[in-house]
Chain A
Amino acid sequence: MTSDLFTYTLRLADDAAILGQRLGEWCGHAPTLEEDIGLANVALDHIGQARNLYSYAGEVEGAGRDEDQLCFLRKEREFGNCLLVEQPNGDFAQTIARQLFFSAFMLPFWRKLTGSRDETLAAIAAKAEKEAAYHLRHSGEWTIRLGDGTAESRARMQDAIDLLWPYTGELFEVDGVVERLVADGIAVDPETIRDEWHATLRRVCDEATLTLPPVGWMQSGGRSGRHSESFGHLLSEMQYMQRAYPGMRW
């Protein structure tokens, strides 16, 4: 039970931390100054969520590991983030598609988690919900501008959606951990938000004149520590400081 809660909280923390890390890579490289600041804002929201979740995971585990150790001293196979968030930034459209898929899921997810029987998770969710609403708005508006933009921007946005679509199946995966925590009223059953997630994407894509791919074969493995090729590189960069100077604080 305790170990389920630890695993579940850690997965949520990993999702937020890895997406925050990816978004941080944009700093100073976004298409416009305004968007550069916008993406940094979104990145920092995710890092803040990750800190709350890692702290709580450390508490639940009760082995004396703090947020820094959980984030910076675990190996690739110990990370339980979904594959979607670790995908490379690619061009701006890819980053926006990744954010849209994720935020459209996380907004209803956090909203439901505010009703969790676990008070700490409920409190973290209440804070994250407001941030997710903004992230969805930000990525949704950009999807529309790019889709309904030039021939070039439209093609790139459609390519990005097609490219990342197979990574969305994992958001809805239910294994033993989730199943047991759902039964206890602690976790969110992802199936209960599938319709809203899909309706949000449909609405955005319709307005953007883009096509949502049919549900088909989906990638899997992130939750059990089997990650994509670029993930090791991401970790080596992210964890460099803590590994080079063990015990450093930030």
Chain B
Amino acid sequence: MTEKTTPLWEVFIRSRTGMAHRHCGSVHAGDAEMALQAARDVYTRRGEGLSIWVVPSAEIIASDPAQKDEMFEPTASKIYRHPTFYEIPEEVGNM
């Protein structure tokens, strides 16, 4: 009953100092507007955030842990792909 009328939403918050929205948890709510309200109350009580995104959990597609090797192994074994050998000029700023 609760699951049907108040589905799960994932909450992403961009903090005052943050560059990007970070996943911080989930809430149950009847619709998007109420999910935003609940997220505000549950996750930004002490002024943690400046911007909130809510996404129906059902809309999120996750990678399959069983495919871990083929998805992530190649990048780990080819270290020349990693941009750690380069000096990043100051002017570039945050990457």
Shortest B13–chain A CB gap in Å is: 15
Within 8 A of A (CB), among B22-72: 27-31, 33-34, 37-38, 41-42, 45
How many chain-A residues does the 8 Å CB contact rule pick out?
Answer: 11
Shortest B73–chain A CB gap in Å is: 40
| Majority SS at the chain A contact face | helix
When C-beta atoms are compared, the residue in chain A nearest to B29 turns out to be A34
Within 8 A of B (CB), among A26-50: 32-35, 37-38, 41
Binary CB contact string for chain A from 1 to 35 against chain B (1 if under 8 A, 0 otherwise):
00000000000000000000000000000001111
Whole-angstrom CA separation of A243 from B41 in the bound complex: 33
Partner of A35, one of B2, B31, B33, B38: B38
Known A32-B6, A41-B45: A145·B30 in contact at CB below 8 Å: yes
Task: Let me know if A141 is at the binding interface, CB within 8 A.
Answer: yes
Whole-angstrom CA separation of A36 from B6 in the bound complex: 15
Which A residues are CB-close (under 8 A) to B28? 32-34
Partner of B42, one of A37, A137, A138, A145: A37
Which B residues are CB-close (under 8 A) to A141? 33-34, 37
Q: Are B27 and A34 in contact (CB under 8 A)?
A: yes
Whole-angstrom CA separation of A34 from B34 in the bound complex: 10
When C-beta atoms are compared, the residue in chain B nearest to A145 turns out to be B30
When C-beta atoms are compared, the residue in chain A nearest to B42 turns out to be A37
When C-beta atoms are compared, the residue in chain B nearest to A42 turns out to be B41
Whole-angstrom CA separation of A137 from B38 in the bound complex: 12
Binary CB contact string for chain A from 172 to 199 against chain B (1 if under 8 A, 0 otherwise):
0000000000000000000000000000
Which B residues are CB-close (under 8 A) to A34? 27-29, 38, 41-42
Which B residues are CB-close (under 8 A) to A138? 37
Which B residues are CB-close (under 8 A) to A35? 38
Whole-angstrom CA separation of A145 from B32 in the bound complex: 12
Whole-angstrom CA separation of A55 from B11 in the bound complex: 38
Within 8 A of B (CB), among A115-171: 137-138, 141, 145
Binary CB contact string for chain A from 83 to 125 against chain B (1 if under 8 A, 0 otherwise):
0000000000000000000000000000000000000000000
Shortest B56–chain A CB gap in Å is: 15
Whole-angstrom CA separation of A41 from B46 in the bound complex: 11
Shortest B29–chain A CB gap in Å is: 7
Shortest B4–chain A CB gap in Å is: 12
Whole-angstrom CA separation of A32 from B8 in the bound complex: 13
Whole-angstrom CA separation of A141 from B6 in the bound complex: 15
Q: B-contacting residues of A (Cβ < 8 Å)?
A: 32-35, 37-38, 41, 137-138, 141, 145
CB pairs A–B below 8 angstroms (12 shown): A32-B2, A33-B28, A34-B29, A34-B42, A37-B38, A37-B45, A38-B41, A38-B42, A41-B41, A41-B45, A141-B37, A145-B31
**A-B contacts besides A38-B41, A145-B34, 16 pairs, CB < 8 Å:** A32-B2, A32-B28, A33-B28, A33-B42, A34-B28, A34-B38, A37-B38, A37-B41, A37-B42, A38-B37, A38-B38, A41-B41, A138-B37, A141-B33, A141-B37, A145-B31
